[in-house]
Amino acid sequence: MSDAAASAARPGLADIVRHGAGVPAGVLAVLAMLVLPLPPVALDLLFTFNIALSIVIVMAVFYVHRPIDFGTFPTVLLLATLLRLALNVASTRVVLLNGHSGSQAAGHVIKSFGEFVIGGNFAVGVVVFVILTIINFVVVTKGSGRISEVSARFTLDAMPGKQMAIDADLNSGLITQDEARVRRLEVRSEADFYGAMDGASKFIRGDALAGIMILLINMVGGLAIGTLGHGLGVAAAARTYTLLTIGDGLAAQLPALLLSTAVAIIVTRMSRPQDVGGELRRQLFGNAKSLSVAAALLGIMGLIPGMPNLVFLLFALVCGTAAWLITRRRAVQPPPAPPAPVTASENRELTWDDVPPVDRVGLEVGYRLVPLVDSKPRGDLLARVRGVRRKLSQELGFLIPAVHIRDNLDLPPNNYRITVGGVALGEGLIHADRELALNPGRVFGPLQGIAVRDPAFGMEAIWIEPAVHDHAQTLGYTVVDPSTVIATHLSAVLHTHAHELLGHEEVQHLLDAAAKSAPKLVEELVPRALPLSSLVRVLQGLLAERVPLRNMRAILETLAEHAARTPDPATLQGQVRIALGRQIVADIAGGAPEVPVMTLDGELERLLSNALAAGAGAALEPGLAEKLRQRLAESSQRRELAGEPAVLLVAPPLRAALAAFARASVPALHVLAWNEIPDNRRVRLVSTVGR
């Protein structure tokens, strides 16, 4: 191998740093500084590098959009503190060993801080060092440490509420699995960051204490070594070693103060993305009224005899000019354009175009909710509705029709209405300037707000101010915005009435999609064995019983097998349910090997069987029907409180009638037949429903 090839094969310094070996090597070098002596030139370079590093960290903290975007900050803080302490030890060694030779013994940086910054007066140096240490230790470090502790506690307490909010958005189709995964990772990262900051802030506190102790030790030790070891006078030894010690302390205390400031900035920032400079300018100097009041007060103080009149009047002029510019800029904004005149068309002949079609799915909003539909920061309702359609289409197996959103002046200003086929199926009241805090069943304190019921599921909820969002999550509430409330209600309504959204056109699209992979199956089934209208009725019946159409091929194969024997849609629907038994049970009970079920009392089952055999159908005697409804509702509620699905297992001839009865009276109850349970699942009897 040639020399050029050998040199190319050897990793250079840039390659080592790029592959992540530079940081461990730097940590080892810092630890080596604790035991190895350093020349004054190296101390100058390292002290300058320490100051530059602290400035870079402060700028990075100030310009980062979110605190968790600088997730390595606690580690950087530890490494910077370790570097500063190692420099203190190394400089102490040089000062005590060579301090008798003069102020140049520890390098130019320490000399400059000892002579130029403090004017060569060690008494002034001691006072300046003590003041810097008090500012760092008592004000900045103590305050940032307390904020870090509180932020870590509140962030950890709010984690369950944030996770539940993510799950709610995922279940309602507002976000995808990938988006939910990213949001969960952000929640964990935020908790890890503030937890690490709670501990990392202790580094600065300990560093401040170590700086004071090192200063005292160096002054006493230098005085003893200078007088006893090198024969210097007490005054000369005190002057030389004190100046070097103060210069060393100030050279280390300046980066410490910068890092403490960086910690305070990052823990006092809000967790949402923001431009700190822009927000400060907008919130602090963007209000013309506050600037006008400040200008008036400064002007009054500037007119008082004996005050520095010129300075006060100058700043009064600056504040007044800024207030005038802000007021003028807002006043010159163009007014909104007037609406276009509406031309009358009373003399035009009526046509079929004047008969408005009925919306398949409609969402009507009051005029105060119109901003939620606009493409502005708070107008994300359209995106939420698209997410609902996407989620339901994936779950149910067919494309949900588009939702027609329009304003309705007949509605109260804060109300909305959900329609399917022109019929109102859901309505609610929204406070667009608030957020809804849902009570998931276990919370740790009350909230101030407007107590209501969640329009989608009837849960206890409170409309709260956005300012108490984090506090509500800390107490265990699930907090959602107004658009999410409407979208969740829309999702629940569409899921319940999905069978009304499936028509001939949608079924034909399903057949066309299935024909791409199984053309012979579709050709033999429709229209040879089964007319399209019968297929539509079968699929609508499945959706009404909450059976999705995702496995369309299995549905068509089952229909092709049994359609020649009977064209009855109800019978064919029962056969399809048997074929989809594994999917139905998995959707209800998940992957558990056992399915908790309820059964009917023997006497009640015989009574229902006789009623069906006599042709009475599901029309039971009113008293018996009410008792049956109560028993089923009580049993279903007990299953829900136990965290298990409510499943009623009956004989196959009773399943369709009881399913229709439960769908109207106990929506949470799932009615299964014995032959729909797959072979790989066991049933566990939990209760018996009697008369």
Q: In angstroms, what CA-CA distances link 450 with 81, 100, 460?
A: 49, 76, 11
Cis peptide before 336 (omega within 30 of 0): no
DSSP string, 431-486: -TTSEEEE--S--SS---SEEEE-TTT--EEEEE-GGGHHHHHHTT-EEE-HHHHH
Q: Which of 134, 184, 143 is nearest to 163 (CA)?
A: 184
Residue 335, pLDDT score: 55
What amino acid is encoded at 604 in this protein? Answer: L
Residue 22, pLDDT score: 62
* Whether pLDDT at 338 is above 60: no
Residue 103, pLDDT score: 58
- Residue 628: burial class (beta carbons within 10 Å; 0-12, 13-18, 19+): buried
Instruction: Report yes or no: 278 and 140 within 8 Å, Cβ to Cβ.
Output: no
Q: What is the pLDDT of residues 54-77, one digit of tens each?
A: 888 888 887 777 777 777 888 888
Residue predicted with more confidence, 408 or 92? 408
What percent of the chain is modeled with pLDDT above 90?
Answer: 25
Instruction: Report yes or no: 223 and 157 within 8 Å, Cβ to Cβ.
Output: no
DSSP string, 12-54: -HHHHHHTT-HHHHHHHHHHHHTTS---HHHHHHHHHHHHHHH
Q: Is 515 helix (H, G, I), strand (E, B) or coil?
A: helix
For residue 390, how many other CB atoms are within 10 A of its CB?
15
Residue 545, pLDDT score: 92
Of 146-150, 215-219, 481-485, give the lowest mean pLDDT range. 146-150
* Whether pLDDT at 407 is above 60: yes
Q: Which helix (H) or strand (E) holds 421?
A: none
Give CA–CA dist 173/389, Å, rounded: 7
Q: Which of 619, 621, 623 is nearest to 664 (CA)?
A: 619
Q: In angstroms, what CA-CA distances link 457 with 207, 535, 595, 637?
A: 55, 32, 25, 14
pLDDT category, 616, cuts 50, 70, 90? very low
Give CA–CA dist 629/619, Å, rounded: 13
Determine the distance from the C-alpha atom of residue 172 to the mean position of all C-alpha atoms in its chain, rounded to a whole number: 16
Residue 461, pLDDT score: 94
Residue predicted with more confidence, 3 or 174? 174
Contacts of 691 (CB under 8 A, 6+ apart): 601, 603, 604, 607, 624, 627, 628, 631
Q: Which of 100, 105, 84 is nearest to 41 (CA)?
A: 105
pLDDT category, 489, cuts 50, 70, 90? very high
Contacts of 64 (CB under 8 A, 6+ apart): 70, 266
Determine the distance from the C-alpha atom of residue 258 to the mean position of all C-alpha atoms in its chain, rounded to a whole number: 31
CATH superfamily of 357-498: FHIPEP family, domain 1 (3.40.30.60)
pLDDT category, 6, cuts 50, 70, 90? very low
Of 115-119, 394-398, 559-563, 612-616, give the lowest mean pLDDT range. 115-119
Q: What is the pLDDT of residues 196-216, one digit of tens each?
A: 777 776 776 777 777 777 777
Whole-number CA gyration radius for the chain: 38
For residue 84, how many other CB atoms are within 10 A of its CB?
25
Residue predicted with more confidence, 247 or 683? 683
Q: What is the pLDDT of residues 658-687, one digit of tens each?
A: 998 888 888 889 999 999 999 888 999 999
Q: What is the pLDDT of residues 40-58, one digit of tens each?
A: 788 888 888 888 888 888 8
Residue 76, pLDDT score: 84
Give CA–CA dist 86/47, Å, rounded: 11
Of 121-130, 162-171, 332-341, 350-359, give the lowest mean pLDDT range. 332-341
Fold of 502-579: Helicase, Ruva Protein; domain 3 (1.10.8)
Residue 417, pLDDT score: 95
Fold of 590-691: Rossmann fold (3.40.50)
Give CA–CA dist 691/132, Å, rounded: 83
pLDDT category, 10, cuts 50, 70, 90? very low
